[in-house]
Every structure is written in C-alpha cells, then in structure tokens.
Amino acid sequence: MNLLGLINCLRGDSRSAKVKKNIFGSFFVKGISIVVSLILVPLTIGYVNRELYGIWLTLASIISWASLFDLGFGNGMRNKVAASIALGDWETARRYVSTAYAYFSFVFISVAIIIYFVCPLVDWCNLLSVSIEYQELLIKVMRIVIVFFSLSMIVRIQSTVLQALQMSALSSAFEALGQLLVLIVTYILTIATSPSLVYLAYAINASPIFVYIIGSFWLYGFRYKQLRPSFKLVDKSLVKDILNLGLKFFVIQIACLVLFQTMNIIISNVSGPESVTEYNVVYKYISIPLLATSIIIAPFWSAFTDAFTLRDYKWMRTAYNKLLKVFFFMTIAVIILVVLYPIVFKLWLGDKVTTDYSMVGIVAIYVIIMIWNNIHSALINGTGLIRISVIIAVFSATINIPLALWLGHQFGTRGVVISVSLLNIISSVLTAIQIRKVINQTAKGIWIG
C-alpha cells in the first residue's frame, strides 16, 4: 500500500475529490515546510547557541499553554461550520465564523494584557534552571511572545475555516509561507545583527501573522465572501452551542499540552536546556513520517464530519481501511530513518548536536505510537463523538507529570519520552475500538457519546 493506493480508493464523489486534492497539495506544501524547518534548525542554533535555543524552545512550550483560553472553541467551530456547509446552510456557517472572531478577539487580547503584566513576577531562571543573569531577557522575550501569540490566535481562525471547507492544503500553504518568511528574516538576522533572543522572538512570531492577515483578506474578500465575518452577525447564543462541543475538545487540548508541551519543561528540569535541544532535533528528524501522516489525515477530519452528518458510513469504512495501510507504510519509513540517522545527522548538523541510538530508538517508538493515535483521533474528532477521548485525556493529564518526572529522574530525557509513549498507548487502543464501532454502526452507550 502506498499513497497512490489511498488516492485511487477515494474516487467517485465530491468529498473524495476534495480529499485527493488536499493530500496531493499538502504533500507539496509540507515538503517545502520540512525543507524550511530542517534549514532553520542549524541556522537558528548557529545564530544564538545550543543553550539559548533550548531556552527558546522551552519558552515557546510554556506560552502555548495560553491557547487553552480558547476553551476548545476553534475545534468546536470547525465541526459546526463543516456540518452547516454539508447541509448547505451558509448563513449559519457565516454566523459561526463571525462569532468566533468576536470571541477570540475578546479572550486573547485580555490574555495578552494579563500575562504581559504578570511576567515580571515569575522567577523564569529558577523555572528553567538557568543563570540568574537571564531574568530580564526572559521577561522581555516572554512579553514579545505573548503579544504576538495572542494576535496569531485571532488571525489563524482563517486556517480553521479553510479546514472546515475541506481545504487543508491551502491552510497548510499559508503556514508554509509563514515559516518561509521566518527563515528569510532569521537569515537576515544572522548576517546583519549580533546574536539576540529578542530579535529571534520577533522573527519567529511576527512573520507568520503577516502571512495570515494577507490570507484572510483573500479568503473573505474574494474566495468565500459568503463567510465574511461581520459584527452584525455575532450571535452570543452560538457561543454556548459551540462550547457544548468545544469544552470537550478543551479537555483534550489540556491533556495534549500536559502530555506534549510539558516535555521540554520536564527535560530541561531533569537534564538541562541542552538536552531539550537534543530531544527536539531527534524528534524533528524521526517525526517526518508523522508529519507525512498528518498531511494525509488532515482532510479526513472535516470529510468525516461531512460523511457522518450525511450518514455515509460506506465511505467512512473505505477511507478508514486504507488509512490503516498508511500506518504500516509509515512505520517502515520510521525504521529506515533510524537506520540512516548517523549519516543524516553528520551531514545535517555536523558537531552542533550529538545523540545516540538509544535516544533515536526511543523517539522512534514514540513516533510510531503517535502515528497510529493521530489517525484514529482525527477521525473520532470529525464525528464529534469524543466522550471517551475526554475520559482518556483526564486520566493521562493526571498521571503524566508525576510519571514523567519519576522516569525522567531515573532515565533522563529517555524516561520522559517513555512516559508520554505509555500514556498514548491507552488512547491508541480505545479510539481504535471506537472508530470501528462507529463506522460499522454498532456503537452504543459511551461509544456513541
């Protein structure tokens, strides 16, 4: 089974045509993103240094927690818009979009103001286990990051709308253009300025916003005027409607942040900032098949929303069976990357970052688990039947930090990765059972909630 086999199985209707178009387009776009990302890592490390780069990665992980303030609104809105469009109700879809912009603007501008003034009260150096001399620098960088992060949360609603329209390839294209602009600006910094974490923060955070603003003008001004947001169409009652589903996604978001975004913080705490760099570089390399899988499954979220709304279970079964074959194909790709890692790392990073087969192997197992988990989670998310996912999320979020700290103190960075892998196995098994029940129309009780 290969990608062409998956594409060929999805013939004959407009939904499948959209999926095919998005998979092909996304592979091209993500290919550009991968190249940009691989170039950006050594360029950024060379611009600052391993320690400052590790600090930057950790700060970025911390600030991502602010995304929790959307309360799952974005994913809830995506499903609501996709379902409205499936039923041909564009007016309701436009009301959802307008309400989303109003909600996000209020929430994230408030968040930015609060965190901006709270930043100086935090002992960042102790939190990150770095020298006290970095305190003022870290406060300044955090303030830059939170302001631009909040703005990005608002303008990136455009990306969620594109996904609801089953145009994930175009959504990825705007993201890739943002990353390309980051690369260009970072390169200019390396030749025009001395090393500066402040300049790096501006480059990484401001560049994508510029691209998303242009994309929003195109989307609402030319391509889909029927979805153009308007203050007149903001409907407070829709906030509750969206949050009925969105709050479930919110719990899952918290769990994901606890599972994944605390990894850098815990690794920094148990092994130091340089180990954060080591892990992230290994993960960036080994996770290429995970990224490829995300490209393939991205169109299926809203496609499953469309199919589930219209009760097209035959299409859902066909798509799911082919995606399972994609999993095995990507597993082989991970194994190949593990075998080739010494050669690739020498050519890619030289002596900038060192690691060994034990780290690469553990991260590879983690990535394989995530590939399986992400396939099933995306399909379940598309149906909106996420009660089981919420239960798993609460359990994982409760257990992860103490387990990761314990294993981290026992085995260092490898222990932290093992902790997250173990917890994701639970989700992988249960979501696989659920999606089979749903597409075979045998789901009852908690499986249909």
One DSSP character per residue, 56-76 reads: HHHHHHHHGGGGGGGTTHHHH
Q: What percent of the chain has pLDDT over 90?
A: 28
Give the pLDDT band (50/70/90) at residue 102: very high
Domain limits at 247? 3-448
Does the pLDDT value for residue 12 go beyond 50? Answer: no
The residue-averaged pLDDT of 193-215 equals 88
Structurally, how many domains does the chain consist of?
1
Residue 390: Cβ-neighbour burial (10 angstroms; 0-12, 13-18, 19+): middle
Q: For the chain, what is the mean pLDDT?
A: 85
- Token digits for 263? 């990894």
The pLDDT value given to residue 69: 66
Give the span between the Cα atoms of 20 and 185, in whole angstroms: 34
Give the pLDDT band (50/70/90) at residue 67: low
- Token digits for 412? 């260092």
Does the pLDDT value for residue 118 go beyond 80? Answer: yes
Per-residue CA distances from 333 to 7, 29, 290, 422 (Å): 19, 20, 10, 22
Does the pLDDT value for residue 379 go beyond 60? Answer: yes
If DSSP codes are grouped into helix, strand and coil, which group holds residue 156? coil
Lowest-confidence pick of 124-128, 228-232, 423-427: 124-128
The residue-averaged pLDDT of 387-411 equals 89
Give the pLDDT band (50/70/90) at residue 437: very high
Most confident of 181-185, 331-335, 345-349, 398-402: 331-335
The pLDDT value given to residue 371: 95
Lowest-confidence pick of 43-52, 62-71, 385-394, 420-429: 62-71
Higher pLDDT, 184 or 196: 184
The pLDDT value given to residue 42: 84
Residue 358: Cβ-neighbour burial (10 angstroms; 0-12, 13-18, 19+): exposed
